Chain A
Amino acid sequence: MSNIRLYVLAGIFVLPMVIIFGRLVTVQVLKHNFYADKASAQQSRQFEIPAKRGELYVEENGELYPVALNNSLKYVYADPQLIEDPKEAAATLAPILQSEEKDLEKKLTFTGKNRYVELKQQVDQDVAKKVAEAKIRGVVLRDRDYRAYPEGALFGHLTGYVNSDGRGQYGLEEYLNADLSGRNGQLKAVTDSQGVPLSTQDNIIEEPRNGSSYVLTVDRYIQGVAEKALKKALVDNKAASGSIIVMDPYTGAIKAMVNAPDYDPNNYASVKPEDYGSFINSAVSSQFEPGSGFKPLTMSIAIENDKVEANTSFNDSGEVVIGEYTINNADKKKFGQVDMSLVIKNSINTGMVYILKLMGGNPNEITKAGKEMLYAGIQKFGFGQKTGVELAGEAAGRVKDTKAADIDYANMTFGQGIATTSLQMISALAPIANGGTKVEPHVLAKKVLPNGDLEEIRKNITQERIMSEETADTVANMMIGVVEGGSGYLTRMPGYKIAGKTGTAQVPKANGQGYEENKNIGSFIGFAPVNDPKFIMLVRVDYPQTNTYAERSAVPAFAEVAKQLFSYYQVPPEGS
């Protein structure tokens, strides 16, 4: 055998071996990661382990009552292409799902495109069992987490709701969405040929982190009382909408927050498009001009800066001219010689403009210094900025800066030309009730820890003093006069000292040119008992038709709730 033949023979054996070896090196060494990943993708799958959404509670006598909790139900859907006889399927399903047979038949008929149609949401166990037993090809049951709101509309504006995508909308559900949602877990598991995970040591599991649960500051009883009073006020006044807020004047804890019209978060999907406005928590989201309810704040700024005292006198001629504009009192009344207490008691607009002039040091004209003092005071009360309450959609309001015209600042002294929210107003008035410290309004009291213990959310909060105790007392006494002998007379109660201030504000036109005719917003802010207030409350009634002044539109609702609160907080009348 010649050497060439030997080499050829060797080549025939060696060459394939070299090729095979080279291929092995490529597959196992050079492209190791690529093929390892490919194999892993074929043999294993990633499953999402959903986190449990956190729940919301209120606390009563140490017990927790849920106002938003989870409900694992099923939903039924169908793939019409797989339905053999839509008519028969509809006839079977209609009584089980309590749906119209014709509607179902229409949904179950394949049109060439509809491969997925939802037949029924929130199906309970019994119905799900019946659907499964019907064994209709193409009809499928799937699990889905829903949210239940046991208090319904009563807490609707506070809780908001969770939409079909699992996202919080409005209220706490939206504000706390990330925190309530938690984080889904992952299971990376080796699967069988059907894709079913096998229990092996190679499985990687990342546990889900459930969402946090919270306890609200809101009191169910007070919330219920406020809701009832507000609805009655709206009916009595033929009013379009309204709000009531009850707050602890020392801590800023919201005890009740109700709005009308409201909606039931359990049935949010049934709200018609023209009623979508009812989703909005108008106590924190709707801006309005507060009107005379603002006067105690202007007064407190002037007193705190030593510009006026309770007995500072003022001669009211019934009108004051600012440039080309004339400001009058309500009903063009003239009060003559009055002191500052009477300015508040009788809600004298011209008196407030006089105070603005005194702030600038010149009783005859409005100066830049006066405007700056008022602006700084208003800023301290928190107007023009969000309060930071834990509710979605809070409005900041609007305050004109000192470059604004004199007439704008003159109007601001009695609450016109300034945009606020009900929550800003009650928070601003709280220092007058509590002796001068600013409060941060809040609706969250405690966090529920994983072991079930409760943790206070607001610990070691230092409250900023924004006026002296003397100033607060002086203004509070002026506000008592409003109830004892002024426009708040309908809330007088024997044995109880109540301080308050009415506000009947005009409504600006949408185009910003002037005010609406025959439209106003009536409000009343008050606190009681004055020597140690248990609550501060704001009642707002929008566009009342039967009573055009707040003393008859908003005050009666305040009186009704206050009466219940004295009993609830066990506050006996003085001298009893």
Chain B
Amino acid sequence: MYPSTSRLVRNQNLTRVEARVQAGPISVSFMLIALVVLLSLLYLNQVSKSSTLNYRLSTLEAKRTTLQAEKEQLRIDAARLQSIAEARNSQVAQAMTPVQNVSYAQR
């Protein structure tokens, strides 16, 4: 057995540092509430951020769908405007006159 008097003992601190800030039960309660409020705000912020991003995403997706549909329609319009029937009825074609005399270049 070790004697009760002060002696160097393995794994025993030699000095004791007293805590300078001491919190009573009310302070601890306030801190806990503050922490909960802080976490709640953080959560709300994330949720609202996520909702905003979701909204932006769905808006952009809707816009992409609309633009794709517009692109498709424009492609069809372009093809129709380049069709033989359209070319035949164009003002340019109407103003053309048939070729009368053709001269072929010698090869």
Cβ-defined contact, A572 with B104, below 8 A: yes
Chain B window 72-95, contacts with chain A (Cβ cutoff 8 Å), 1 for yes, 0 for no: 110110011011110010000000
Cβ-defined contact, A72 with B72, below 8 A: yes
Chain B binding surface SS class:
helix
CB < 8 Å neighbour of A72 from B69, B83, B99, B104: B69
Chain B window 47-62, contacts with chain A (Cβ cutoff 8 Å), 1 for yes, 0 for no: 0000000000000000
B79 to chain A, nearest CB (A): 4
Cβ-defined contact, B76 with A69, below 8 A: yes
The reply on A508 being an interface residue by CB < 8 A is: no
The reply on A98 being an interface residue by CB < 8 A is: no
Cβ-defined contact, A150 with B83, below 8 A: yes
Chain A minimum-CB-distance residue to B76: A148
Chain A minimum-CB-distance residue to B99: A567
Contacts of A71 in B (CB 8 A): 72-73, 76
CB < 8 Å neighbour of B84 from A69, A125, A221: A221
A151 and B73 in contact, given A125-B66, A224-B88, A576-B104 (Cβ under 8 angstroms): no
Contacts of B83 in A (CB 8 A): 150-152, 154
Bound-complex Cα distance A73 to B69 (A): 8
Contacts of A65 in B (CB 8 A): 79, 82
| Interface-centre pick from B66, B79, B88, B99 (highest chain A CB count, 10 A) | B79
Among residues 108 to 157 in chain A, which have CB atoms less than 8 Å away from a CB atom of chain B?
Answer: 124-125, 148, 150-152, 154
Contacts of B102 in A (CB 8 A): 567
A150 and B82 in contact, given A125-B66, A576-B104 (Cβ under 8 angstroms): yes
Chain B minimum-CB-distance residue to A228: B88
Contacts of B88 in A (CB 8 A): 224
Chain A window 37-78, contacts with chain B (Cβ cutoff 8 Å), 1 for yes, 0 for no: 000000000000000000000000000011001111100000
Contacts of B80 in A (CB 8 A): 148, 150
Cβ-defined contact, B85 with A152, below 8 A: yes
Contacts of A567 in B (CB 8 A): 99, 102
Bound-complex Cα distance A33 to B69 (A): 44
Cβ-defined contact, A150 with B73, below 8 A: no
Bound-complex Cα distance A573 to B102 (A): 10
Cβ-defined contact, A151 with B84, below 8 A: yes
Bound-complex Cα distance A557 to B44 (A): 80
A342 to chain B, nearest CB (A): 34
B107 to chain A, nearest CB (A): 9
Contacts of A573 in B (CB 8 A): 104
The reply on A220 being an interface residue by CB < 8 A is: yes
A124 to chain B, nearest CB (A): 7
Contacts of A576 in B (CB 8 A): 104
Contacts of A124 in B (CB 8 A): 73
Bound-complex Cα distance A66 to B72 (A): 12
A125 and B70 in contact, given A69-B79, A148-B76 (Cβ under 8 angstroms): yes
Bound-complex Cα distance A576 to B99 (A): 17
Cβ-defined contact, A220 with B84, below 8 A: yes
Cβ-defined contact, A223 with B84, below 8 A: yes
A500 to chain B, nearest CB (A): 23
Bound-complex Cα distance A154 to B82 (A): 13
CB < 8 Å neighbour of A154 from B72, B75, B76, B85: B85
| Interface-centre pick from A70, A150, A151, A224 (highest chain B CB count, 10 A) | A150
Bound-complex Cα distance A494 to B7 (A): 133
A564 to chain B, nearest CB (A): 11
Chain B minimum-CB-distance residue to A154: B84
A151 and B85 in contact, given A69-B79, A567-B102 (Cβ under 8 angstroms): yes
Bound-complex Cα distance A151 to B85 (A): 7
A66 and B84 in contact, given A71-B72, A71-B73, A125-B69 (Cβ under 8 angstroms): no
Contacts of B76 in A (CB 8 A): 69, 71, 148, 150
CB < 8 Å neighbour of A224 from B79, B84, B104: B84
Bound-complex Cα distance A386 to B68 (A): 42
Bound-complex Cα distance A72 to B70 (A): 10
Chain A minimum-CB-distance residue to B77: A150
B87 to chain A, nearest CB (A): 8
Contacts of B84 in A (CB 8 A): 151, 154, 220-221, 223-224
Bound-complex Cα distance A567 to B103 (A): 11
Cβ-defined contact, A69 with B104, below 8 A: no
Contacts of B99 in A (CB 8 A): 567
Cβ-defined contact, A150 with B72, below 8 A: no
Bound-complex Cα distance A553 to B84 (A): 26
Bound-complex Cα distance A152 to B84 (A): 10
Contacts of B66 in A (CB 8 A): 125
Contacts of A572 in B (CB 8 A): 104
Contacts of B69 in A (CB 8 A): 72-73, 125
Contacts of B73 in A (CB 8 A): 71, 124-125
Contacts of A70 in B (CB 8 A): 72
Cβ-defined contact, B104 with A150, below 8 A: no
B90 to chain A, nearest CB (A): 13
Bound-complex Cα distance A154 to B80 (A): 12
Among residues 534 to 576 in chain A, which have CB atoms less than 8 Å away from a CB atom of chain B?
Answer: 567, 572-573, 576
A545 to chain B, nearest CB (A): 28
| Interface-centre pick from B68, B70, B72 (highest chain A CB count, 10 A) | B72
Chain B minimum-CB-distance residue to A129: B66
| Interface-centre pick from B66, B70, B80, B99 (highest chain A CB count, 10 A) | B80
Contacts of B85 in A (CB 8 A): 151-152, 154
Q: List 7 A-B contacts (CB under 8 A).
A: A65-B82, A125-B66, A151-B85, A224-B84, A224-B88, A572-B104, A573-B104
Given A69-B76, A72-B69, A567-B102, 7 new contacts (CB under 8 A): A65-B82, A69-B75, A125-B69, A151-B83, A154-B83, A221-B84, A567-B99
Which 3 A-B pairs give the minimum distances between C-beta atoms?
A: A150-B79, A572-B104, A224-B84
